[in-house]
Structure 1
Amino acid sequence: MIDINHRRVHTNGIWMHIAEKGQGPLVLLIHGFPELWSCWKYQINHLAEHGYHVVAPDMRGYGDSDSPQDPESYTIFHLVGDLIGLLDELGEEQAFVVGHDWGAQIAWNLCLFRPDRVKALVNLGVAYMPRSPELKPTEIFSKLYGEGFYISQFQEPGVAEKSFSKYDSLTVLKKLLLVNAPDIIAAPAGVEIIDFLHTPSSLPEWVNLEDLQSWAEKFNATGFTGALNYYRAMDK
């Protein structure tokens, strides 16, 4: 991560930490759950070397960015607003946008709300989910997959945090990021999702233990409430 610059910018009422490198057209990299800006470190270096100004924020609730405790502060309007404020702070009218997981969901809605600020979009892992005032995603998930579905288990403030606390942060990250389960991540009745998920005995070649340990240190400091609040505001 040599020569990657770090600073905090004020956007949409919060302080957001960003990592940036390079000069040229702006590429905005948006991480997912439960990740940090540094999940993009290889892409940051590669894109900067090829003539782009690359910016990867710690999203609201993560890492060195502000982490409001109230789930009401994590609606999609807050999350998109953070990025619009970031573009304004950077003095950029448009950006190439890349999103992964929750970052993809935010990026889809950024394009929906403010297409004038997006030059092009690349999304990974999450398809576009249309919004409707008549349909609540959490209710649909519960009906389809049951109350053991991970999103359903994340809804009640404090419950998932308590179950996560039985493990160190590194183990929690391994369980969540390296899921060895069917496509539908749902625990049996009466079982916490974090207990249900397998802890891998070894890491795949593409995962760096040092990176995971650095993420774990951040989550040791911040806890997981900010990250979980994204799910608690899904219906807003």
Structure 2
Amino acid sequence: MLTSFMEGLLCCLTSKSTNVVVPVETSEPADGYEFVEVKPGRVLRVRHIIPDRPVVEEPTGPGGSVSCKRKITVYRNGQLFIENLGDRASAELKTCQNGETEPNSMVEVELTDCGNSSPPVSIPEVRSDSVTAGNNGASETAGDAPAAGQTELSQQPRKRRRKPKRSVVIDCERKITACKGTHSDVALFFIHGVGGSLDIWGSQLDFFSRLGYEVIAPDLAGHGASSAPQIAAAYTFYALAEDIRIIFKRYARKRNILIGHSYGVSFCTFLAHEYPEQIHKMVMINGGGPTALEPSLCSIFNLPTCVLHCLSPLLAWSFLKAGFAQQGAKEKQLLKENNAFNVSSFVLRAMMSGQYWPEGDEVYHAELTVPILLVHGMHDKFVPVEDDQRMAEILLMAFLKVLEDGSHMVMMECPDAVNTLLHEFFLWEPATPAPPKKESKARPETAKAHTDNTKAVSETIKVRPATAKQASSNGGEEDKQHSTAKK
């Protein structure tokens, strides 16, 4: 603690940070590690593993096709309406989240505290059922009542109707297939968050590379073994997102899966918007809710760099306590070995102050049409579970999985459970609907059976006259005998 205080005092006197992350000089582009210069003087360390594939298997089966038809409307009072118009996509959404199977669904989200304001009636058709029933009931009772009822109902929407601030219509069809490790056109991208490094994905990188997946994991600027520019503008969201975009273009395949943690989830969402045709699936691990990023004005990270450097042991202890469900020797060793939260105070301050991304609001996330797996650690003290639940409501196809024994660093605490969830999600594909031709084939057989039944009935009817004839002849003989007896 005294050493840290002296270094912080020296930092204040010289106006320079003494704890600067620089590329590891002993690191070489071997064992899957590469150094990529994204900009002049801006070098990122990337772990790139291409497994040996003796036999390359191509995707077998057509896969599932999901049609996305939804209308997103934002009103000036802060209300967001999402109307799912597609049959299959909305059915998947309802089955995964609410357990319903209705073909159409609508999600209403209040962006601000506007509970007293009444919702508009122009979009939801389900809420107009009560109004329609009222009109029908009034028309059946009296002749003059419908006109009065219609005038009252026509006046109410005028008071409640508000002009939309923004309206987005999405209509597309996406093909989703299983991503096996033996497919050469599949690549997995792992992106860490603030204070982490690519080493936090050690269990995941080893696990999926052994299964035959091609994995790519970069170190963000100022993290791990990447270069750390001494300019605050180098750590804004847009600067870091541009680095990730260059890394993605360099290693991208035909089908790419993005796996992000915490702050890295925002970069995954950014790539999904930039390259919607190349992103096949996404995984968000403790990423929070679908809100636009904005730096906090009242935060400990707004303190001077030298003060943060003096408080670095306290910050590391706070991160250990809040990031892990248990604070034992194992968790401390994980932090030490994986370089988690081992960045300079200058980089940490610049990263937290540069989280400005106004485009990443609810509408931005609702426009995503890619299947997304949400993984949340129940004991996470940085991101509450309500935020991930909110994200699951906004997204078109989201699958929320909560791990009871995990916290914010759930991929390090529960590596086996996380690897299993991710692998099952990579192999998942929507069920292909049965072709309608089978139903058309069954109908002629039913009609044929019906004709056979009619023929059988007609044959029985033909037999009846013969029986009646015999009865009449028998009756005639009895009459003759009776007449002779009378005689």
Structure 2 length as normaliser, TM-score? 0.36
The verdict on how the C-alpha distance between 1:54 and 1:218 changes in structure 2, with shifts beyond 3 A counting, is same
The verdict on how the C-alpha distance between 1:60 and 1:92 changes in structure 2, with shifts beyond 3 A counting, is farther
Which residues of 2 match residues 43-82 of structure 1 at below 5 A? 43-82=204-243
Question: Which of 227, 234, 249 does residue 88 from structure 1 map onto?
Answer: 249
Shift of 1:111: 1.9
Which residues of 2 match residues 15-30 of structure 1 at below 5 A? 15-23=43-51, 24=184, 25-30=186-191
2:294: which partner in 1?
137
CA contact (8 A) 1:99 1:122 kept: yes
Rounded to whole Å, the distance in 2 between the matches of 1:153 and 1:214 is 26
2:300: which partner in 1?
153
2:195: which partner in 1?
34
Secondary structure of 1:54 counterpart: strand
1:178 aligns with 2:205: no
Q: After the TM superposition, which of the residue ranges 20-29 and 62-71 deviates more from structure 2?
A: 20-29
AA aligned to 2:214 is H
Rounded to whole Å, the distance in 2 between the matches of 1:160 and 1:129 is 32
The verdict on how the C-alpha distance between 1:54 and 1:201 changes in structure 2, with shifts beyond 3 A counting, is closer
Rounded to whole Å, the distance in 1 between the matches of 2:45 and 2:211 is 24
Secondary structure of 1:115 counterpart: coil
1:6: which partner in 2?
33
Shift of 1:70: 1.8
Rounded to whole Å, the distance in 1 between the matches of 2:187 and 2:281 is 11
RMSD: 3.2
Shift of 1:227: 3.4
Secondary structure of 1:104 counterpart: helix
Secondary structure of 1:29 counterpart: strand
Secondary structure of 1:154 counterpart: helix
CA contact (8 A) 2:305 2:349 kept: no
Rounded to whole Å, the distance in 1 between the matches of 2:329 and 2:249 is 39
The verdict on how the C-alpha distance between 1:128 and 1:112 changes in structure 2, with shifts beyond 3 A counting, is farther
Shift of 1:118: 2.3
CA contact (8 A) 2:259 2:282 kept: yes
The verdict on how the C-alpha distance between 1:129 and 1:8 changes in structure 2, with shifts beyond 3 A counting, is same
Shift of 1:217: 9.8
Secondary structure of 2:322 counterpart: coil
Secondary structure of 1:161 counterpart: helix
Unaligned runs of 5+ in 2: 1-29, 52-183, 358-487
Question: Which of 318, 330, 335 does residue 212 from structure 1 map onto?
Answer: 335
1:235: which partner in 2?
356
Shift of 1:234: 1.6
Rounded to whole Å, the distance in 2 between the matches of 1:126 and 1:54 is 21
CA contact (8 A) 1:61 1:67 kept: yes
Misfit runs of 4+, over 4 Å: 215-218
Rounded to whole Å, the distance in 2 between the matches of 1:157 and 1:217 is 22
Q: After the TM superposition, which of the residue ranges 82-91 and 59-68 deviates more from structure 2?
A: 82-91
Shift of 1:60: 1.3
* Percentage of matched positions with identical amino acids: 17
Q: Map Cα deviations across residues 24-72 of structure 1 (whole Å, 9 max, x no partner).
A: 4210101112211111000001111222111111111101111122221
Q: Which has the larger radius of gyration?
A: 2
Rounded to whole Å, the distance in 2 between the matches of 1:218 and 1:235 is 21
Question: Which of 321, 325, 328 does residue 203 from structure 1 map onto?
Answer: 328
Structure 1 length as normaliser, TM-score? 0.68
AA aligned to 2:300 is Q
Q: Map Cα deviations across residues 173-232 of structure 1 (whole Å, 9 max, x no partner).
A: 34214318xxxxxxxxxxxxxxxxxxx994276x3x43322345993xx62322332211
Rounded to whole Å, the distance in 1 between the matches of 2:257 and 2:267 is 14
The verdict on how the C-alpha distance between 1:173 and 1:117 changes in structure 2, with shifts beyond 3 A counting, is farther
1:101 aligns with 2:101: no
The verdict on how the C-alpha distance between 1:81 and 1:179 changes in structure 2, with shifts beyond 3 A counting, is same
Shift of 1:15: 0.7
Shift of 1:73: 1.5
AA aligned to 1:164 is L
Rounded to whole Å, the distance in 1 between the matches of 2:248 and 2:327 is 40
